[in-house]
Amino acid sequence: MPTNEEHNNHGHHYTPGHSEDAPGYEITDVNVSGVMVFLSGLVGFLVVFFVFCFVMGKVINGALIKSDGPVTKWNELAGVKTTRERENLASNPDQQQRVLQQLTKTFPEPRVDLDDGNQQTADLHAREDLMLDYYSSTPGQDAIRIPIDRAMELIAQRGLPVHTETASTGALMIGETAPHVQAPLTNGFARTGYEQEVIEARRQKMDFNRAENAEHAQLNTAK
């Protein structure tokens, strides 16, 4: 029964449309030496390329440093030793912030506030909180500051000295009224918007850490 497949005397399989010289598939072994030569050449090219880039980077960096001139007090960081090596892959905002910080360190006092005084106001209020909430003293003096809550308790217990009102020496003019002193609605102390944002961010972080610790504790208990 005839078939569509043909076999030669050596046992090779041929399909229709192919000859013994071109059976349609590879009949020779892979040239290992040629592949190794290609890979070796590729590795050598990469090594030479990286060495070339490194040398060119050093040459360009040296030329730029040389063009900057000698190190003086104007281009040297105050109190910081540097090799004057240029930094790569740094964003422009990051570089601008570093330069701004370096410049502000060399400015004499008083300096212009960079954040509209938000941080200085927050630091002032933090120092006031320490004085109002804790015991403190001034060096060289025997007086001791007490917390504001304790002072209020003592005032509530002992009371304040009462001064007798002095009689008015003169009659009121037409349209005048007797002065009446009222207690202020607040103590005059208010947090700034910046402080409120910092306090809220700190509170959220503490709540998150507290919840995360509780979750870890439950997992450890379950194990």
Local confidence band at 216 (pLDDT 50, 70, 90 cut-offs)? confident
pTM: 0.35
The residue type found at 220 is: N
Q: What is the rounded CA–CA span in Å between residue 108 and residue 117? A: 17
- Whether 47 and 25 have beta carbons less than 8 Å apart is answered as no
Q: What is the mean pLDDT of residues 205-223?
A: 88
| Alpha helical stretches, state H, the chain | 32-68, 92-106, 118-133, 148-158, 193-222
Which domain, by its residues, includes 5? Answer: 1-91
Residue 119 lies in a domain: no
Q: Is pLDDT at 165 greater than 90 in this prediction? A: no
How does pLDDT run across 71-129, given as a tens digit for each residue? 666 655 544 445 555 555 667 777 777 887 777 777 777 777 766 778 888 888 888 88
pLDDT for 40: 93
Residue 72 lies in a domain: yes
Residue 164 lies in a domain: no
Q: What is the rounded CA–CA span in Å between residue 144 and residue 138? A: 7
Count of structural domains, the chain: 1
Q: What is the mean pLDDT of residues 199-210?
A: 91
Residue 27 lies in a domain: yes
Residue 63 lies in a domain: yes
Q: Which residue has the higher pLDDT, 135 or 105?
A: 135
> Which distant-in-sequence residues (6+ apart) come within 8 Å of 77 by Cβ?
102
Q: What is the rounded CA–CA span in Å between residue 222 and residue 177? A: 75
